[in-house]
Amino acid sequence: MSREFLSDKPLYDITKFTTLDFPQNLASIFWFCKCNMRCPYCYNTPIVFGEGSIDLKTALDFLKTRQNRLTGVVLSGGECTLYPNLKAFCKEIKNLNFKIKIDTNGTNPKLIKELVSEKLVDYIALDYKASKGKFQEITQNKNFDYFEETLNFLISINFPFEVRTTIHTDLLDVNDINLIIDDLFARGYKNTYYLQNFLYVEDTIGKMPIQAYTLDASKISKKIDIAFREF
Ligand code: SF4
């Protein structure tokens, strides 16, 4: 394939170093612009609505300077699977011997399946935004069925991945979370489910206020392994 896409500028920013975002890896984070959701609690507004300014050749040149220091790259956003040349870009990253983690809302199962089958991704963090009944209300996206397809696929092949949900209690309460847990249990999800507490920042997409209360962890179902972040 031609490498012309390397002059594309889908990246809003590069985080040069993180120990937290890619389990067992020291990694960089590439932040892809654009998203097909509008979660009210999203604090990445400049990324969701903005234009990229960093081209992929610059990103790869940066990785070349980190080859003996970092082991992984996180492709995040925004929603990185919207970028049409993501697969070709992953091949370039793999040629430099980095592991790849993808953060996704799951709405592009076709691409996720291709990346997995071609061994172009090593770990996935999949957002479970809300149960089917609330999915569109919270995300402004109709494609729960695509998300579901991604989830089922990753479970079916026992892929190393995590499911996670961000909680603002104006949007999701204990019952909503327990519905998700019931669903994950029924689908045979065996990994840890991460519940991420909303931390207030002013400029979220939906201008969300400080939460009136924090989720009561004692009321969360224990059917599957749960981990709490930022509670
Ligand atoms: S939180 Fe929602 S709107 Fe923000 S980047 Fe993620 S999927 Fe897109």
Question: Tens digits of per-residue pLDDT, 129-188?
Answer: 999 999 999 999 999 999 999 999 999 999 999 999 999 999 999 999 999 999 999 999
Averaged over 184-208, what is the pLDDT? 96
Averaged over 99-121, what is the pLDDT? 98
The model's pTM:
0.97
Averaged over 12-38, what is the pLDDT? 97
Any idea what the Cα angle at residue 46 is, between residues 44 and 50, rounded to 5°? 130
Is 172:165 a contact under the CB 8 Å cutoff? yes
39 lines ligand 1 (CB under 6 A): yes
What does each C-alpha distance from 73 to 6, 7, 200, 209 come to in angstroms?
A: 17, 19, 27, 33
Ligand 1, residues 35, 82, 142, 199: which to mutate, most atoms within 8 A of Cβ?
A: 35
Report how far residue 154's alpha carbon sits from residue 210's, in angstroms, rounded to the nearest whole number.
34
Cα(205) to centroid of ligand 1, in Å? Answer: 9
105 lines ligand 1 (CB under 6 A): yes
42 lines ligand 1 (CB under 6 A): yes
79-90, pLDDT tens digit by residue?
A: 999 999 999 999
Is 147:117 a contact under the CB 8 Å cutoff? no
Report how far residue 194's alpha carbon sits from residue 93's, in angstroms, rounded to the nearest whole number.
28
pLDDT at 6 over 70: yes
103 lines ligand 1 (CB under 6 A): no
For residue 2, what pLDDT band results from cuts at 50, 70 and 90?
A: confident
Domains for the chain: give ranges and CATH numbers.
Answer: 4-229 (3.20.20.70)
Is 33:12 a contact under the CB 8 Å cutoff? yes
At 44 the pLDDT is: 94
Cα(35) to centroid of ligand 1, in Å? Answer: 6
Contacts of residue 205, defined as CB under 8 A and 6 or more positions apart, other chains included, come to 38, 39, 40, 41, 42, 45, 48
108 lines ligand 1 (CB under 6 A): no
208 lines ligand 1 (CB under 6 A): no
At residue 155, the 3 state secondary structure works out as: helix
For residue 21, what pLDDT band results from cuts at 50, 70 and 90?
A: very high
Ligand 1, residues 13, 79, 138, 204: which to mutate, most atoms within 8 A of Cβ?
A: 79
Is 47:78 a contact under the CB 8 Å cutoff? yes
Place of tokens 């079916």: 156
138 lines ligand 1 (CB under 6 A): no
Sheet (strand 226-229) strand order: 11-18, 27-32, 72-77, 99-104, 123-127, 161-167, 193-197, 226-229
77 lines ligand 1 (CB under 6 A): yes
Pairing of the two strands 11-18 and 226-229: unpaired
Beta bridge partner(s), residue 136:
none
Q: Is 20 left (phi over 0), alpha (psi -120 to 50) or beta?
A: alpha
At 215 the pLDDT is: 94
pLDDT at 57 over 80: yes
Place of tokens 């090593």: 122
pLDDT at 1 over 80: no
Averaged over 74-97, what is the pLDDT? 98
